Structure 1
Amino acid sequence: MRHRPGPRSMTSALDGVLARVEPKTPLARLQRVWPGVVGPVLTPHATPTAMSGDGVVTVTCDAAVWAQEMDLLAYELIDRLNAELGPGTVRELRCRATDSAAWARQRRPRRKTERK
């Protein structure tokens, strides 16, 4: 009878699966490290959506204020991303706000005349 090691954590099991199925592109690598680099506050509002061969990353933000915040943090984030991905991988962040994603999620308050 073979001795089996104890149970593995779900995280390590999923990391192994993800490593085998995710695309082997620079953008996929960037998207994988993105949450750890930008942190829990920015992650829900900013997503890397494109990456050119010369290291220009397009970041799509759900509101203009988040795109502006990303612009202000760009140099620091580029340094952190390159520390994870290798020197010179990311040269520039181009932050863009989506047309109206933030507004679509907000509920418009009713006027007093509309209430029943």
Structure 2
Amino acid sequence: MPDETPDDAPEAGHRDDGLDYARSARKAAGSGPGKAPKRRTGGDFRRRTVPKSSGAHPDDRDPQLLDSAMKRMISQHGWELDLRVQAVFGRWAELVGDEVASHCTPESLAETRLIVRADSTAWATQLKLLTPTIVKRLNVELGDGIVTVIDIQGPHLPNWKKGRFTSRDGRGPRDTYG
């Protein structure tokens, strides 16, 4: 039975340690024994793999404090005025007091004119008397010149107009009551 070989016997030309596969791969790559594999020598190969470090001096690539990074981003995008407007709306109760804030709300800030809506005509009158004090307080808290004029508006009143036909100088629904 010389034709039969055991399962663990090496075949002709094949070694169990796998060196024959490594040699054939090296030959296919084009390098002979003792030669190093060819390196790619593209023009931008080295430039894109190693970034420059900032060195001993501070640089934009160094980690930044969140406060300074936020200030830089706000100034680059021009968000200073928007943030001041939101500061007025967000801190309204703190700036004017809880009692006043419970009866009025800021609606808009266009240029230096703040429009405030009161929930009753009595509070609208009271706020008109408090306007110089509120303007002074807002300018101290937010910066001089942010708010120069406060326009106080009364509550939104219901509209009694129903349908196409109306009577001028009518009293609304009260004229139909007994």
Tell whether the 8 Å contact from 1:47 to 1:60 is kept in structure 2 after alignment: yes
* Cross-structure match for 2:68: none
**Aligned to 2:117, which of 46, 52, 60?**
60
* Partner amino acid, structure 2, of 1:42: V
Answer yes or no: is the 8 Å Cα contact 1:33–1:84 preserved in 2. no
TM-score by length of 1: 0.61
Q: Which has a greater percent of helix? A: 1
Q: Which consecutive unaligned segments of at least 5 residues does structure 2 have? A: 1-78, 159-178
Structure with more contact order per residue of length (Cα contacts < 8 Å, sep ≥ 6): 1
Task: Find the aligned partners of 2:109 and 2:115 in 1 and give their Cα distance.
Answer: 6
Aligned twin of 1:71: 128
SS at match of 1:30: helix
The one-letter amino acid of 1:76's match is T
Structure 1, unpaired ranges of 5+: 1-22, 102-116
State the Cα distance separating 1:28 from its structure 2 match: 1.3
Aligned length: 78
Task: Please report how far the alpha carbon of residue 100 of structure 1 lies from its aligned counterpart in structure 2 after TM superposition.
Answer: 3.7
Return the alpha-carbon distance in structure 2 between the equivalents of residues 62 and 27 of structure 1.
22
- The structure carrying a bigger strand percent of its residues is 1
What percent identity do the matched residue pairs reach? 26
Separation (CA, whole Å) in 2 of partners of 1:37 and 1:59: 13
| TM-superposed deviation, 1:42 | 0.7
How far residue 95 of structure 1 moved from its aligned partner, in angstroms, is 0.5
Residue 137 (structure 2) aligns with? 80
Q: Whole-Å Cα distance in 2 between the matches of residues 92 and 61 of structure 1?
A: 16
Query: What residue identity is the alignment partner of 2:105?
Result: T
Q: CA RMSD in A?
A: 1.8
Q: Per-residue CA shift, 1:3-58, capped at 9, x if unaligned?
A: xxxxxxxxxxxxxxxxxxxx9724311112211121111111111101111x1000
TM-superposition CA deviations, 1:37-89 (whole Å, max 9, x none): 21111111111101111x10000111111111111000010000011110010
The equivalent of 2:103 in structure 1 is 45
